[in-house]
Chains A and B, each alone.
Chain A
Amino acid sequence: MISWFHIPPAQRPLFSVFVSAHLVLALCCICSLLFGAGGLSLQASFQTLLGNGSADDQFTVFHLRATRTVIGLFIGLTLGIAGALMQAVARNPLAEPGLLGVSAGSSLAVAITLVLGASTATLTVGIAQFGALLGCLCVLSVARMQGQQNDPIRLVLAGAALSSLLLAVTSLLLLFDQRAADEIRFWVTGSVAGRDTDTLLSVLPSMLIAGLCILYAVKPLASLALGERVAIGLGHKPQRIRAVVIVAVALLVGGATAIAGPVAFIGLVVPFAARALVGPDIRRTLWLCLPLGPIIVISADIVSRLVAQPAEMPLGVLTAIIGAPVLLLIVRSRRMPTL
């Protein structure tokens, strides 16, 4: 009997990995309902879950904790998939929504609306998605400005430059507007606590569109991993595929950002873990990102409730603490994985 770990990741049966990942996810969700920073003990939480809790306890478990679990589920899903797509398009395992100006565009759009008088409570999802898309389009046109061919490396460089520029403009805006700066401070660290499910519902239609985009683009995207010309030879249109994927990424990242603020590194860590488990083919990676994203976000959220009791650590801070070492690990690895 050969051990599972001796099978190369790309050869492992996707189905069994997929199912076990979902079992872990279910476990994470239950834990997320059981643990909290508040006064409710583990035992009491458990009893509440079984239906024997007071009204207050039920509110804590089934409203407060269930809501943040659902939101954690959502942003893990969207950011994980957005990261995997972005890395496939940029052909760079370090590409992250933060890198290509998606998050930066989203943040700037939010900052502008805040400066214009909106508050984080009334923030609409469309604005964040629109900002994310503009960020993407800017970086694409910068990358194409003087080139005949669309070079992935140039794209990443342009994205990094554009990201810095957009973030600088955001900082500048907030420097002149104290109220907006105060508003955004809560939002800018990224959190799944205290958000409500109404925003989630307003995001769903655009998530459906993103899903259709992915369905259309995933196979050609996999062929792009064999080289630009190979993909053309197989009858695909790399430019169009990239455009569709970029739109999907903007919808996903904008949606997640509008709900939870910019949560860093999820888009990096999740595809990295998925590739380690099932290999680099985007069709396999994406399937595994479905459970892995929520697993990582929800468990990070649980930890963020427990490490600084009775206060909570913002989720964005914790994901950065997990994500930065992973980033270093990828950079320092014997060889960068080719995508």
Chain B
Amino acid sequence: MTATSLQFKQTSEINNLARLGAERLTLKHGKTSIIENLDVSLPEGKVTAIVGPNGCGKSTLLNGLSRVHSPSSGVVLLDGKDIHSLPSKEVARRLALLPQDTLAPDGITIEELIRFGRHPHQSLLKQWAMDDQQAINYALNAADLEGLKNRLLDTLSGGQRQRAWIAMSIAQETPLLLLDEPTSALDLGHQIEVFELIRNLSRQGKTLAMVVHDLPSACRYSDHIIAMKKGEIITQGSPKEVMTKELVRELYGVECDLIPDPMTGSPILINMKRVRN
């Protein structure tokens, strides 16, 4: 009894603190429920990594939180209000989204791409203003792309390209940023490049959430991990708390040992073996 009420108190406290969260969220693809009755919230000012096996609903959750996927029931709360009741443009001034399926039009330069991030701040009457150019310069600087701003997007390395997309979200000047597998198609060097940018953004006070496939990276570059399986949150908390060999077996069917990174203390997976299908 007391445990339950204590738990309830904690949840509602988190929900009050968080700028983005969901209550009893159900998301469906057609008639199939991907996520049912899920409560979740993103701790403010932190990097949250959503991990889990393929098909566990982590991308669906991110799409739900970013109002791309409308809930069948339940509610996504942005600053305490139903996200679908707010004007989409207003949401876009508080919450930026970098989806996985971005398309790069031929012949677009980095700066032109980043300009798109200013759309939520513009209207028919206010097309282009000083603050737009300032936000773009800031984004170029934050993503370390100043020297490349006139380069064509498709002539850049994968890491630079992904940083350009993130820079577009930075130019949106939102306190919240959601990223769907921001490092999926990148090699190790480019992954680190992107993760370090994400960490820097968090240090500047942004609240970030990302879907990540790679567990060690999730541990290393996030403050909070949400582990999902079959549409449910199995556990969540700081990487050191939640990352156990039992969790890895439960999520991926992989037997392993965990040792702390000698430099950072974040868990590293070694001795990995597939134990079941």
Question: Is B152 in contact with A232, judged by CB distance below 8 angstroms?
Answer: no
User: In the assembled complex, how far is the CB of residue A61 from the closest CB belonging to chain B, in whole angstroms?
Assistant: 42
Given known contacts A216-B124, A219-B119, A223-B116, is B102 in contact with A234 (CB within 8 Å)?
A: no
Q: Are B103 and A279 in contact (CB under 8 A)?
A: no
In Å, the complex CA distance between A226 and B169 comes to 13
B68-109: CB near A (< 8 Å → 1, else 0) gives 100000000000000000011111110111110111111111
Q: B108 and A233: CB pair below 8 A?
A: no
Bound-state Cα–Cα, A339 to B87, Å: 27
Most buried by A among B90, B105, B120, B122: B105
Which residues of chain A are near B99, meaning CB under 8 Å?
A: 227, 229-230, 233
Identify which of B29, B107, B117, B152 contacts A234 (C-beta below 8 A). B117
Please report the C-alpha to C-alpha distance between residue A220 and residue B29 in the assembled complex, in whole angstroms.
26
Q: Looking across the interface, which residue of chain A has its beta carbon closest to that of B107?
A: A10
The A/B interface has a contact count, at CB < 8 Å, of: 94
| A8 engages B152 (CB within 8 Å) | yes
* Chain A residues with CB below 8 A from B119, complex form: 219-220, 223, 234-236
Q: Taking the nearest CB of chain A, how far is it from the CB of B82, in angstroms?
A: 16
- Interface membership of A122, Cβ < 8 A: no
Type the 1/0 row for A232-268, where 1 means its CB is closer than 8 Å to any CB of B: 1111110000000000000000000000000000000
A8 to B92, CA, bound (A): 32
Chain B, range 87-145, C-beta contacts under 8 Å to A: 87-93, 95-99, 101-109, 112-113, 116-117, 119-120, 122, 124
Q: Is the interface of B mostly helix, strand, loop or mixed?
A: mixed
B35 to chain A, nearest CB (A): 15
C-alpha gap A129/B111 in the complex (Å): 40
* A227 CA to B68 CA, complexed, in Å: 12
Q: How far is the CB of A94 from chain B (nearest CB, A)?
A: 16
Once the chains are docked, how many angstroms separate the CA of A219 from the CA of B113? 13
Q: Would you call A232 and B105 a contact (CB within 8 A)?
A: no
**CB contact between A10 and one of B89, B91, B109 (< 8 Å): that residue:** B109
| Chain A minimum-CB-distance residue to B121 | A235
Docked-complex contact B124 and A237, CB < 8 angstroms:
no
A43 interface contact, C-beta 8 A: no
A8 in contact with B120 (CB, 8 Å) = no
Separation of A106 and B108 alpha carbons in the complex (Å): 36
In the complex the two chains form, is B105's CB within 8 Å of A233's CB? no
Report chain B residues within 8 Å CB of A236. 88, 119
Q: In whole Å, how far is A167's beta carbon from the nearest beta carbon of chain B?
A: 32
- Asked whether A226 lies within 8 Å of B93 as measured between CB atoms, the reply is no
B124 pairs with A226, CB closer than 8 A: no
State the Cβ distance, A148 to closest chain B Cβ, in Å: 6
- List, sorted by A's number, 5 A–B pairs whose CB atoms are closer than 8 Å: A222-B116, A227-B101, A234-B119, A279-B106, A338-B104
Q: Which residues of B contact A (CB under 8 A)?
A: 29-30, 63, 66-68, 87-93, 95-99, 101-109, 112-113, 116-117, 119-120, 122, 124, 152, 169, 172
Top-7 shortest CB links A-B: A235-B92, A10-B107, A233-B97, A229-B99, A235-B89, A235-B120, A279-B107
| Residues of A participating in the B interface, judged by any CB pair closer than 8 Å | 8-11, 148, 215-216, 219-220, 222-223, 225-230, 232-237, 279-281, 337-339
